[in-house]
Amino acid sequence: MDALPQDTLHQIFSSLPLRQIMICRSLSKFFNQLLTSPSFVHIISTQSPPLNLLALRPPHHHHQRHVSSSSCLHVFDPDLNQWIRFALDFLPFRSPHPVASSLGLVYLWGDSPDPPESAKSLVVCNPLTRQFRVLPQLGSAWSRHGSVLVDSQTRVMVLTELAALYFSGSNQWLKFSSNLPSKPRSPILVFGSVYALCDVGSPWRSEWKLFHCTISKLKTSQTWTRLEKHDWGDVFDILKRPRLVRGNGNNVLMVGGLKSSFSLNASCSTILILRLDLDSLEWDEAGRMPVEMFKCFQESSKFKVFGGGDRVCFSAKRIGRLALWDRCSEKAEWRWIDGVPGSGDGLSRGFVFDATLTAFP
């Protein structure tokens, strides 16, 4: 093998699917260097599509205490139905905490290795190539209370109820007042616009509404618009604890428990996935959890939702596995994901990670 020219080896390995290339890289230092070299990455840039994976965020308690250098990113490959682990020991930070991903890059909070202890850095990296870049430093309050939204390397936002930080490729964060009516729930960034659910109801009864703001307006007038149509009727009232997930293209998914009635403490009959077309502003039903699967979620007071595109994951306490809604094929299917790594409260959180060797921080 060593006697073959590097160009020949590159041509041989470039014919492999990305999954097989990742396996070969782990065989030895020689293969790792060969299959991460710039010339090889250039060859496969048009031949190997990204792997659509589901990545787990660490439990919250991991975010607060020291984690050894063996920390890693756990991802699930829905096509092969298996878990994969990417080591994060190449990052010079304590307690790396992955929170988001876009275009093959992972964004994570890292504790500064040097004082002050309250300093946090948002780091962008590619776990496959082990390359990273550190964005300008922030205080720890942003990592505790802010939601990280990303849709390109030059559009990164950290959003809270009162303020928003925006990074556009310069060497500094721009800070703006967000002026939302309440804490934003499950905000998402879609093509330069931010969407979030806010509770505008009373202390004893929630009333969820969809709010929208373009980044250009946020930088000038800080104006959030309530997105609504008369035709929508009671679309927000039929769901308990709704949250948003970014869909494919210009679509937004809204997920929540389907209420059995409009009474204050109504039980739920299943979990419903609605889809909003942002061009036509029309809702339709995208999915409904099977009754037998929902029985496992019925006794939980809350559940977590993550994913994007045509895949959405659900977790709850004491279940020990994830429920997956998958519409990547012609027909949508619901199935269980077993073998969830780690321990904790059972409420797994995560994000979509389109793994590729060709993304550079």
Give the span between the Cα atoms of 16 and 8, in whole angstroms. Answer: 14
Residues 129, 97 within the same domain = yes
Structural domain boundaries, residue 260: 50-355
**Count: domains in the chain:** 2
Residues 72, 149 within the same domain = yes
Which of these, 91, 162, 93, 126, lies nearest to 357 by C-alpha position? 126
Predicted local distance difference test score (pLDDT) of residue 111 = 80
Residues 120, 162 within the same domain = yes
Banded pLDDT at 253 (limits 50, 70, 90): very high
Given 28, 49, 70, which residue is the final one in a domain? Answer: 49
Residues 28, 168 within the same domain = no
pLDDT digits (tens, 9 = 90+) for 114-143: 655 557 889 999 998 888 999 988 877 888
Output the six-digit token pair for 76: 């699930």
pLDDT digits (tens, 9 = 90+) for 189-204: 998 899 999 999 888 8
- Whether residue 1 has pLDDT greater than 70: no
User: How confident is the prediction for the chain on average, in pLDDT?
Assistant: 85
Least confident residue range of 165-169, 204-208, 307-311:
165-169
Q: Is 204 helix (H, G, I), strand (E, B) or coil?
A: coil
* 54 within some domain: yes
Residues 15, 118 within the same domain = no
* 361 within some domain: no
CATH number for 245 = 2.120.10.80
pLDDT digits (tens, 9 = 90+) for 312-349: 999 998 888 999 999 988 788 999 999 998 755 678 89
Residues 33, 109 within the same domain = no
Predicted local distance difference test score (pLDDT) of residue 345 = 61
Cβ(219)–Cβ(176) under 8 Å? yes
Residues 252, 336 within the same domain = yes
* 7 within some domain: yes
Residues 64, 157 within the same domain = yes
* 142 within some domain: yes
Which class for 234: exposed (0-12), middle (13-18), buried (19 or more C-beta within 10 A)? exposed
- What average pLDDT does the segment 133-160 reach? 85
Predicted local distance difference test score (pLDDT) of residue 212 = 92
Residues 138, 41 within the same domain = no
* 304 within some domain: yes
- Whether residue 67 has pLDDT greater than 90: no
Given 34, 49, 64, which residue is the final one in a domain? Answer: 49
Regarding predicted confidence, which is higher, 127 or 59? 127
Residues 36, 68 within the same domain = no
- What average pLDDT does the segment 97-124 reach? 83
Residues 19, 163 within the same domain = no
End-to-end CA distance of the chain: 32
Residues 100, 19 within the same domain = no
Output the six-digit token pair for 233: 């009727």
pLDDT digits (tens, 9 = 90+) for 262-296: 777 788 899 999 999 999 999 999 999 999 999 98
